[in-house]
């Protein structure tokens, strides 16, 4: 199966020795043998694209750790904050969080100042957890700005996306995501989740979420069974 690349002129795969070279980053990453760093794969994904399932299946094929919900659970344990609240902070970006640029002053109420400090503290603790996981073993991490936070680990950065119709269909197959929603409502929900993920990512990284230049491999799951795609990627990463 041919895998869509983020940019054929920028990203090269030497499958014989399995090394990944990226011109824009100016680095060569050895994915097996003689590496000083653990093998880290990060996955950014559009809602409904199957990125989470792809990450879990790929981790199973490679026999490495997989982290997604587990990060939220550990974050909740460390911060003593409810998981549902942390999910809203991490995925939905509370409207009180606004981009802050050099030379620009924002005026907040005492309450909003407290929330901004709290969100910043949550992000910092999340970053600590991600670094600990990356230092512990080879792993796949989904979301959480992991590609940016773990850049010193030189992760292989994947971004998973799909056409809207494919995302709607996948959401229909997930009762918790699409139950009781019309097609129009479902599309609006998908757009809202992706818009909030993009804002959260941009706020903390200063980069554009989903911009192909920020990733090593962009994968379009439209019309491709995630199970088969995971198997193909596993061969690539083995």
**Cα 112–117–121 angle (5° rounding)?**
145
Contact call for residues 187 and 178 (beta carbons, < 8 A): no
Looking at the chain, list the stretches that DSSP marks H as alpha helix, in order from N- to C-terminal side. 51-62, 69-79, 83-87, 110-136, 146-149, 164-172, 175-178, 183-205, 226-237
> Which pLDDT value is given to residue 87?
77
Give me the tens of pLDDT residue by residue for the chain, a chain 238 residues long.
334 444 433 333 343 333 444 444 444 444 444 445 789 999 999 999 999 999 999 999 999 999 998 988 888 888 888 888 877 776 655 444 443 333 334 444 455 677 778 788 888 999 999 999 999 999 999 999 999 999 999 999 999 999 999 999 998 887 665 567 888 999 999 999 999 999 999 999 999 999 999 999 999 999 999 999 999 999 988 7
Domain boundaries, the chain: 11-70+136-237
Q: What is the Cα Rg of the chain in Å?
A: 18
Q: Which fold has domain 11-70+136-237?
A: Rossmann fold (3.40.50)
First to last CA, the chain: 16
Q: What is the pLDDT of residue 32?
A: 41
* Amino acid 172: pLDDT: 86
Residues present in the chain in total = 238
pLDDT at 17: 33
Q: Tell me the sheet residues that pair with 76.
A: none
For residue 138, the model assigns a pLDDT of 95
Q: With helix as H, strand as E and coil as C, how does 114-146 read?
A: HHHHHHHHHHHHHHHHHHHHHHHCCEEEECCCH
Which letter, b or e, does each residue of 5-39 get, where b requires 16 or more Cβ atoms within 10 Å of its Cβ? bbeeeebeeeeeeeebebeebeeebbbeeeeeebb
User: Which pLDDT score, from 0 to 100, does residue 84 have?
Assistant: 81
What is the predicted pLDDT for the residue at 206?
A: 93
């Amino acid at each position: 199966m041919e895998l869509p690349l983020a940019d054929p002129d920028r990203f090269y795969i030497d499958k014989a020795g399995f090394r990944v070279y990226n011109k824009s980053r100016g680095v060569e990453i050895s994915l097996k043998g003689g590496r000083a760093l653990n093998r880290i794969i990060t996955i950014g994904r559009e809602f409904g694209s199957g990125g989470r399932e792809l990450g879990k299946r790929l981790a199973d094929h490679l026999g490495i750790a997989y982290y997604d919900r587990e990060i939220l659970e550990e974050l909740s344990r460390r911060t003593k904050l409810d998981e549902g609240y942390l999910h809203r902070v991490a995925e939905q970006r509370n409207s009180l969080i606004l981009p802050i640029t050099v030379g620009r002053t924002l005026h907040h109420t005492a309450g909003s100042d407290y929330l901004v400090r709290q969100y910043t503290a949550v992000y910092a603790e999340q970053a600590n957890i991600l670094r600990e996981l990356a230092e512990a073993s080879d792993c796949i991490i989904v979301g959480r700005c992991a590609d940016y936070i773990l850049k010193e680990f030189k992760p292989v950065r994947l971004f998973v996306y799909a056409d809207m119709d494919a995302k709607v269909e996948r959401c229909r197959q997930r009762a918790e995501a699409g139950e009781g929603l019309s097609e129009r409502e479902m599309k609006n929900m998908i757009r809202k989740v992706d818009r909030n993920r993009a804002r959260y990512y941009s706020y903390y990284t200063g980069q554009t979420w989903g911009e192909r230049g920020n990733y090593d491999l962009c994968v379009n799951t439209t019309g491709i069974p995630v199970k088969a795609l995971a198997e193909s990627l596993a061969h690539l990463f083995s």
